Structure 1
Amino acid sequence: MDLPGVAAQEPLTTVSEKSKQAVRRRLPAAQREQQIVEAAAQFFAEHGLAGQTRELAREIGITHSAIFRYFPTKEALLDRVYEHVYVQRWNPAWGGIVQDRSQPLEARILRFYGEYAEKIFDYVWVRIFVFSGLKGYDIAPRYLGIVRDRVIHPICTEMRAELGLPAPEIVPLTERETEAVWALHGKIFYLAIRKFVYGWPIPSNVSQIISDDVGAFLRGSPPIFVDCVKNSVKD
């Protein structure tokens, strides 16, 4: 079954006319600030994070000084874009999905990545993330820290439990174990890169591809986990 939202948002070359009209209206300060953030997210996704705020103001039909009335620096605006695009889309319940041992591990990982893909297979999300890494802004590193702590390490912990191996509190996780999970995560994210950065087609049934990737991970990674724990205990 196709993931809803995978193809719902296409590239925008300019901020929409609807956004321009909304920003021009007299609005409460909080609402106007939010509309600037939404327009900025679209703008930076199209032009990159090096895009100038003066050009952003021109595209959304407000004065340059109006932006700095709400955001004293470009970095402050990018911080709000980060909160809007990344933090607000993160579902706190995802951690519970991965760690719910009443369900088979494969079902848990599949459910997490199915819901996760619905959120991140998005033009703005993907392109800002890539531009951030290319230009040295801290959006990508900050977000990857969240992924490491809330996805990579929990899946490693659950793999250890599935295989009857010591918990990370007893035998610390190794680089090989975490890299095995990063490889799974990266394969899924690459589909979004292919679509929204390279403009290259992706499979129509993304859910099946995710299922294939998770299955390959669960079949192929156990020897890595066993070997790593054995070597750690030996050392």
Structure 2
Amino acid sequence: MSTADSLPGATRPKQKRRSPEARREEFIRKAAEFFAEEGFGGGTRELASKLGVTQPLLYRYFPSKDELIQAVYRSVYLDRWKPEWDELLGDRSKPIRLRLQQFYEAYTDAIFTREWIRIYLFSGLKGVEINRWYVGVVESRILNRIVEEYRHEAGLPALKTPPSAELELAWVLHGGIFYYGVRKYIYNSPVLEDKSRVISNALDVFLEGIARVFGTTVKARNTAVRRTGDG
């Protein structure tokens, strides 16, 4: 015991109480960790126990489990989206090949974590809305833009809605890159460690395939860009 503690009337300094906002953010962070490890089964009582708080206290911040799931979705998924990615995808001063390489390298740096991927997969298996919500984000902010920008660079007419065949080709590209992260962070399987090369190869396959479908020459024009960027 310290001298100060042994003195009559001595009191230990009180811990600074966290603000409600800080406490709320802590709950979201711990809930994300819990969902990533345990999935979305169980009720709020079990979740509160795992978080180390009482159920009534958890209800003060999140009146329902669905509201907590929505908060986790915003924190883990929406808050990681960077506004500059929208600008990059639409920057027509750069060839689409270069834009897509830069975008996917930055995007995968943000989402290739065990927590992000496990929550995404668990939510899909359990029918939790997180999976469906984020699929909508991927289509509207990434895949539709890829098709739109490809068509512009290839000299094809602009369309209000991407043709389903072209959108599916974009999904093949995106899904292949995403599955690289699944293999590495979920299955712990051997992967080609050079993520940039994986993305580069996937883009070559995508651009060559879509160019053959439409008889365009975007792939050929961008091959030189890729080789220059690869060094």
Range class of TM-score, shorter chain: 0.7 to 0.9
Deviation at 1:219, TM superposition (A): 1.4
Within the candidate set 43, 55, 71, 2:62 is matched to 71
Quick one: which amino acid aligns to residue 158 of structure 1?
A: E
What is the root-mean-square deviation in Å for CA atoms of aligned residues? 1.8
Matches of 1:216 and 1:121, distance apart in 2: 22
- Once the two structures are superposed, residues 108-141 of structure 1 have per-residue CA deviations (whole angstroms, 9 ceiling, x without a partner) of 0001100100011011111111111111111111
The one-character-per-residue Cα deviations of 1:167-196 (angstroms, maximum 9, x if unpaired) are 114xx4211100011100000000111123
Shift, 1:226, TM fit: 5.1
2:77 to 81, 86, 100: 86
The residue type equivalent to 2:146 in the other structure is: I
Tell me how far apart the structure 1 counterparts of residues 190 and 89 of structure 2 sit (CA, whole Å).
30
Cα separation, 1, equivalents of 2:17 and 2:158: 57
Query: Which of 196, 221, 231 is matched with 2:185 structurally?
Result: 196
2:31 maps to 40
Shift of 1:25: 7.2
Residue 201 of structure 1 deviates from its aligned partner by 2.9
From 133, 140, 149, the counterpart of 1:142: 133
Deviates more, 1:78-87 or 1:97-106: 97-106
* 1:141-220 map, 5 Å: 141-169=132-160, 172-220=161-209
Q: Distance in 2 between matches of 1:116 and 1:109?
A: 10
| Alignment-mate amino acid for residue 29 of structure 1 | P
Q: Among 21, 28, 37, which residue is 2:19 paired with?
A: 28
Structure 2 Cα separation of the partners of residues 69 and 163 of structure 1? 54
Normalised to the residue count of structure 1, the TM-score between the two structures is 0.81
Question: What is the rounded CA distance, in whole Å, between the counterparts of 1:42 and 1:226 in structure 2?
Answer: 48
Q: Is contact 1:97–1:108 with CA below 8 Å preserved after alignment?
A: yes
Greater relative contact order structure (CA < 8 Å, 6+ sep): 1
Please give the alpha-carbon distance, in whole angstroms, between the structure 2 residues aligned to 1:208 and 1:154: 23
- Following TM superposition, by how much is the alpha carbon of 1:94 offset from its aligned partner in structure 2, in angstroms? 1.0
Deviation string, structure 1 residues 128-165 (Cα, Å, up to 9, x no partner): 11111111111111111111111111110111112111
The answer to whether 1:121 aligns with 2:112 is yes
Distance in 1 between residues matched to 2:42 and 2:114, nearest whole Å: 17
Q: Which runs of 5+ in 1 are unaligned?
A: 1-23, 228-235
Q: Which amino acid aligns with 2:49?
A: R
Q: Counterparts of 2:213 and 2:51 in 1: how far apart (Å)?
A: 52
Q: Contact (CA 8 Å) 1:82, 1:139: kept in 2 or not? A: yes
Number of residue pairs matched?
Answer: 202
Question: Counterparts of 2:215 and 2:79 in 1: how far apart (Å)?
Answer: 37
Aligned-pair CA distance for 1:60: 3.2
